[in-house]
Amino acid sequence: MSINNSFKYLTFLLILTFSTTVKSQKGWVDLFNGKDLKDWTVKIAKHDVGENFANTFRVEDGMMKVSYDGYDNFDKQYGHIFYKKPFSYYLLKVEYRFVGEQAKGGEGWALRNSGAMLHGQDPKTMLKDQDFPISIEAQILGGDGKNQRHTSNVCTPGTTVRMNDKLMTQHCIESKSETYAGDQWVTVSFLVLADSLIEHIINKQVVLSYTKPQIGGGSVSNYDPKVKQDGKALTGGYISLQSESHPIEFKSVKLFDLAPYVKNKIKLDKVLAKLTDE
């Protein structure tokens, strides 16, 4: 089996596992435990790392919630909550819904807008006034009731990606997903294989695919120049979830770590066979 065919088969097989009970499968880890944020670190623009300004990120009713009831004005205080350790090869599954009204002072483009940041920088390396982590943003968008708004797009704060072996210079690239309006729950998944392949998956369909993420480009401000090493390949990094001024709730954040298989040089077809038997 070729490497490319292995990747395609791996994607197909892991998509099939979504219809089964995740807890019964080996390898899945609940990054969010449904109880507290002890394994997560908050970084909000204009605040020091670790300061959860206005209790933006909180756990209520078994969900991780992003709320703005403590804000007088959003004032570009973009926030991210980072899981405690980095990953390189994995499948990430996130279940979310947008709720309520956008915070006062939020940008028009940030209406029903959030994201899962992949291959992100360590939050401890972010400066106080930095707006976004240098990362690959798997953008999450909700419908506004009027226009088509694809979700699971890709945006590139301080990074670039390649599609069909072409360097993409635009900040955001739309997926081919449906529009999900209202407060419905939506499940999105992201297959990440270092810098070889990243795929966005909804309802068992790959809606976006790209390769070769690396540091470069713009759309990030007030960063440490020593961290933004343009041209450096992004083969791993931290996962974070965004606060961009619209309330959002996360019911689950799960990850299947594929790195042990790669480290032990186990052929992908053997991994797939093992997963098939579970």
Q: Are strands 136-141 and 63-66 parallel, antiparallel or unpaired?
A: unpaired
Band of pLDDT at residue 31, cut at 50, 70 and 90: very high
Average pLDDT for residues 183-210, to the nearest whole number?
93
Flag whether the pTM goes above 0.85.
yes
Band of pLDDT at residue 129, cut at 50, 70 and 90: very high
Question: How large a percentage of the chain has pLDDT more than 70?
Answer: 85
Does residue 158 carry a pLDDT above 60?
A: yes
Give residue-wise pLDDT tens across range 206-221. 999 999 999 999 999 9
Give residue-wise pLDDT tens across range 160-184. 999 999 999 899 999 999 999 999 9
Does residue 247 carry a pLDDT above 60?
A: yes
* 7 CB neighbour count, 10 Å cutoff: 18
Taking the C-alpha atoms of residue 175 and residue 201, their distance in angstroms, rounded to an integer, is: 10
Average pLDDT for residues 186-194, to the nearest whole number?
94
| Predicted pLDDT at 275 | 38
| Predicted pLDDT at 262 | 76
CATH of 3-277, one of 3.40.50.150, 2.60.120.560, 2.60.40.10, 1.10.540.10: 2.60.120.560
For the chain, the structural domain boundaries read: 3-277
Does residue 9 carry a pLDDT above 50?
A: no
Average pLDDT for residues 89-115, to the nearest whole number?
96
User: Mean pLDDT across the chain, nearest whole number?
Assistant: 88
> Which range, 111-120, 143-152, 266-275, has the best average confidence (pLDDT)?
111-120
Residue position matching structure tokens 């998944």: 189
| Predicted pLDDT at 105 | 98
| Predicted pLDDT at 271 | 56
| Predicted pLDDT at 277 | 37
Average pLDDT for residues 89-96, to the nearest whole number?
94
Taking the C-alpha atoms of residue 150 and residue 148, their distance in angstroms, rounded to an integer, is: 6
Taking the C-alpha atoms of residue 89 and residue 174, their distance in angstroms, rounded to an integer, is: 23
Does residue 34 carry a pLDDT above 90?
A: yes
| Predicted pLDDT at 260 | 83
Of 118, 123, 148, 122, nearest to 135 (Cα)? 118
Average pLDDT for residues 37-47, to the nearest whole number?
97
